[in-house]
């Protein structure tokens, strides 16, 4: 097993630090993950296309894909995740794409 599972502690926040790269490849990078993202974007398109700028909180944002999507449409986005690895990835993605959101 590439990423050993941590024992789950009841009533305690869990971080995906030990599985971030696995999730990036197998969830976000898979056909199923891409389809999930397209469905979310399709369903949120009417809200995202409003003329006024919205304040969007993306709690548990993972790699920040939806955060960036909203930011590219001119909305003020605050993205947060308990995983330090994901938070670092979000900052890199935002910088590389010159997105304006607050990771």
State the average pLDDT for the chain.
78
Higher pLDDT, 43 or 99: 43
Q: Average pLDDT in the 69-81 region?
A: 87
Q: Is 21 left (phi over 0), alpha (psi -120 to 50) or beta?
A: alpha
Q: Average pLDDT in the 59-71 region?
A: 87
- Residue-wise pLDDT tens digits, 11-61: 565 666 666 676 677 777 788 888 999 999 999 999 999 878 899 999 988
Contact predicate 95/76, CB 8 Å: no
Q: List 55's β-bridge partners, or say none.
A: 76
Band of residue 1 on the pLDDT scale cut at 50, 70, 90: very low
* Domain residue ranges in the chain: 17-96
| Distance between CA atoms of residues 14 and 77, nearest Å | 23
Is residue 78 over pLDDT 80?
yes
Cβ-based neighbours of 94, under 8 Å, separated by 6 or more: 64, 68, 71, 100, 101, 103
Band of residue 98 on the pLDDT scale cut at 50, 70, 90: low
* CATH fit for domain 17-96, picks 3.40.50.720, 3.30.470.10, 3.40.50.1370, 3.40.50.150: 3.40.50.150
Contact predicate 37/65, CB 8 Å: yes
């Amino acid at each position: 097993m590439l990423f050993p599972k941590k024992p789950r502690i009841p009533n305690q926040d869990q971080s995906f630090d030990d599985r971030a790269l696995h999730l990036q490849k197998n969830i976000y990078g898979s056909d199923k993950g891409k389809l999930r993202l397209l469905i979310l974007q399709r369903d949120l398109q009417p809200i995202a296309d409003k003329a006024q700028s919205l304040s969007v909180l993306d709690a548990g944002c993972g790699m920040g894909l939806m955060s960036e999507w909203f930011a590219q449409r001119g909305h003020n986005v605050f993205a947060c995740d308990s995983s330090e690895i994901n938070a670092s990835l979000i900052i890199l993605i935002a910088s590389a794409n010159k997105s304006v959101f607050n990771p």
